[in-house]
């Protein structure tokens, strides 16, 4: 956001994210983005609030942040040689104006076929425990990623192209 020239403040929400493996991934991300944005908007009613949630999904199954290195290894094994979805839901709220807009951006990421040694090596390069799916495209992604179809910014954090488009449509930015 700084690179886009936006003036912003990070306010972490104090909501418990919903994790339901039976729920569709798009629904989960939308729900969590709205929970986060709503919590912050209540406390900052005169500001545009951006809440976002990203999940990695393979065959409709959400992969959150791994609990430990064994789980990170298992996630990378499940993604190796396959295409998976990175979905980010964004909820924009301006409480004082009673305005709200939501959108979902999907990107499809194809991993290279990975053996145990390649997975082990990759895990020495990054900390996978705070990353959905146990990987970070912006951190040595070339080691594991073969192809990205869709907005790359969605895979590394926030779908900036669409976010800027929506903020302009709301006259929140010039």
Active site residue 53: yes
Q: DSSP letter string over 9-35?
A: -------PPP--TTS-HHHHHHHHHHH
Label residue 8 by pLDDT band (50, 70, 90): very high
What are the domain boundaries of the chain? 25-169
156-171 tens-digit pLDDT: 989 999 999 999 999 9
- Give pLDDT tens digits for 130-140: 888 999 999 99
Read off the pLDDT of residues 47-72 as tens digits, 9 standing for 90 and up: 999 999 998 999 888 888 899 999 99
**Span 16-25, average pLDDT:** 84
Instruction: Read off the pTM.
Output: 0.87
Q: What is the pLDDT of residue 130?
A: 87
The answer regarding whether domain 25-169 maps to CATH 3.90.950.10 reads: yes
Give the three-state DSSP class for 106.
strand
Tell me the torsion sign for CA atoms 160, 162, 145, 118. positive
Catalytic residue among 46, 53, 68, 70: 53
What is the per-residue DSSP string for 54-105?
EEEEETTEEE---SSHHHHHHHHHHHTTSEEEEEEEEEEEETTTTEEEEEEE
The pLDDT score that the predictor gives to residue 21 is 73
Predicted confidence at residue 67, as pLDDT, reads: 94
């Amino acid at each position: 956001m700084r690179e886009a020239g936006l003036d912003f403040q990070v306010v972490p929400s104090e909501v418990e994210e919903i994790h339901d493996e039976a729920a569709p991934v798009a629904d989960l991300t939308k729900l969590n983005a709205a929970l986060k944005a709503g919590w912050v908007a209540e406390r900052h009613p005169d500001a545009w609030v951006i809440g976002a949630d990203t999940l990695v999904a393979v065959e409709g199954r959400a992969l959150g942040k791994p609990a430990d290195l064994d789980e990170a290894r298992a996630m990378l094994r499940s993604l190796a040689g396959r295409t998976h979805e990175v979905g980010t839901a964004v909820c924009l709220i301006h409480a004082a104006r009673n305005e709200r807009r939501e959108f979902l951006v999907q990107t499809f990421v194809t991993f290279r076929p990975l053996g145990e040694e390649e997975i082990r090596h990759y895990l020495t390069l990054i900390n996978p425990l705070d990353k959905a799916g146990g990987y970070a495209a912006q951190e040595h992604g070339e080691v594991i990623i073969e192809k990205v179809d869709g907005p790359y910014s969605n895979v590394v954090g926030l779908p900036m192209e669409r976010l800027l488009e929506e903020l302009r449509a709301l006259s929140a930015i010039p």
